[in-house]
Amino acid sequence: MGRKTQYNNITTPELIAQINDDNKYIQHEFVEYLQSIDRAGSTIDQYQSDLNIFFVWNLLNNNNKEFTTISKREFAKFQNYGLNDLGWSPKRIRRVKSVISSLSNFIEDIMDEEEGYEGYKSVIRKIENPANEAVREKTVFEPEELQKLLDYLVEEGQYKKACLVALAMYSGRRKAELPRFKVSYFEDKNVMFGSLYKTDEKVQTKGRGKNGKMLYLYVLKHQFDPYLKLWLDYRKENNINSVWLFPDNNDENKPINTYTLDSWTDSFSKILNKDFYWHSLRHFFTTELSKQNIPDSVIQDIVGWESAEMCKLYNDTTIDDNLGKYFGEDGIKKVESKDLSDL
């Protein structure tokens, strides 16, 4: 299976607590700077996670050196560690190096007037990146394949996972947006046309700034309801009272973490015998709407894209499938477009 992401639990609160105090200080100052320029909270969290990995490596393998004294050779050793010990892809190596480079630039350009940081020059950019890996083949799912996954999860009593997969399939939302759904979004008052849930408030989606792009979100009601009911019944039986549809296992006041969603992908891939990643379900959603003759302009509205051209990027319908809509044994078929009330 080509599309595989390596997740490594190499940081712990105990190890993070042992990080050099100076390195903790510059990381703290860097985070405050990112907040001051309105970087999204999810971006800042990712930066902190990547920096914690680097600083824990520095703690365990590089004498816990102060960041500003780390040499090019030592940065190269960290890159080798990520590539060959942790099994990171070249893409992830470049991402983590980009975060470290951003921290370096912050020290060089913003902290240069503080004692101890004068004259610092970033050196990590001197380290050549590993060669790019081959482009991964996109995974395209048929409805029957994903139904097999849902059936398996339900049979195993894994209702939370089944509900989350169904939500992704029938809303087309990104992985980072799925945890932001609340239980209250699925009340009768939020049903449109008898077939669509519409959130009663705008929800943060991908976009610039800490608030991202705020949108009302839609979910196909009839397709999603069976899995929603199973999960809500389980929550009731187990006294789960969080406002979040999918609360964190350790703190019901917080939504589930996307790292938890990532941890499920290997088992889903094995069940499907095909590479599973959450974004493939965004493609699935767009494709299924298109197969139902929903116009691109309506798909654009329901997903929240600024341009209908995005529908072409996410629609995995083949040329033969498209031709089959309009041609049959009797010649050209009469095909009627549908709208949201037909879903």
Q: Is residue 138 part of a domain?
A: no
User: Where does a domain end: 126, 151, 186?
Assistant: 126
Q: Are residues 247 and 158 located together in one domain of the fold? A: yes
In 3D space, the residue among 100, 125, 129, 126 whose CA is nearest the CA of residue 30 turns out to be 100
Q: Is residue 317 part of a domain?
A: yes
Q: Are residues 216 and 328 located together in one domain of the fold? A: no
Q: Are residues 242 and 325 located together in one domain of the fold? A: no
Domain that holds residue 247: 143-274
Q: Are residues 122 and 41 located together in one domain of the fold? A: yes
DSSP β-bridge partners for residue 244: 182
Q: Are residues 173 and 114 located together in one domain of the fold? A: no
Contact (Cβ atoms closer than 8 angstroms) between residue 284 and residue 146:
yes
Residue holding tokens 């999810």? 42
User: Where does a domain end: 229, 246, 274?
Assistant: 274
User: Where does a domain end: 126, 161, 179?
Assistant: 126
Decide if pLDDT at 272 tops 60: yes
Q: Are residues 156 and 262 located together in one domain of the fold? A: yes
Residue holding tokens 């965004």? 282
271: buried, middle or exposed (CB in 10 Å: 19+, 13-18, 0-12)? middle
pLDDT in tens, 313-338: 888 876 666 666 666 677 666 666 65
Among 145-154, 301-310, 323-332, name the one with the lowest average pLDDT: 323-332
Q: Is residue 6 part of a domain?
A: no
Among 142-151, 255-264, 325-334, name the one with the lowest average pLDDT: 325-334
pLDDT in tens, 65-119: 999 999 999 999 999 998 888 888 888 899 999 999 999 999 999 999 999 899 9
In 3D space, the residue among 96, 283, 305, 141 whose CA is nearest the CA of residue 215 turns out to be 305
In 3D space, the residue among 340, 251, 250 whose CA is nearest the CA of residue 297 turns out to be 340
Q: Are residues 231 and 316 located together in one domain of the fold? A: no
pTM check: above 0.85 = no
Q: Are residues 238 and 291 located together in one domain of the fold? A: no
Q: Is residue 52 part of a domain?
A: yes
Q: Are residues 237 and 327 located together in one domain of the fold? A: no
How many structural domains is the chain composed of? Answer: 3
Q: What is the CATH number of the domain that holds 222?
A: 1.10.443.10
Confidence band, pLDDT 50/70/90 cuts, at residue 6: very low
pLDDT in tens, 174-229: 999 999 999 999 999 999 999 999 999 999 887 655 556 889 999 999 999 999 99
In 3D space, the residue among 274, 277, 287, 276 whose CA is nearest the CA of residue 314 turns out to be 287
Q: Are residues 207 and 290 located together in one domain of the fold? A: no
Greater pLDDT, 190 or 46: 190
Confidence band, pLDDT 50/70/90 cuts, at residue 161: very high
Q: Are residues 154 and 57 located together in one domain of the fold? A: no
Q: Is residue 132 part of a domain?
A: no
Q: Is residue 4 part of a domain?
A: no
Q: Are residues 162 and 241 located together in one domain of the fold? A: yes
Q: Is residue 335 part of a domain?
A: yes
Confidence band, pLDDT 50/70/90 cuts, at residue 3: very low
Q: Is residue 332 part of a domain?
A: yes
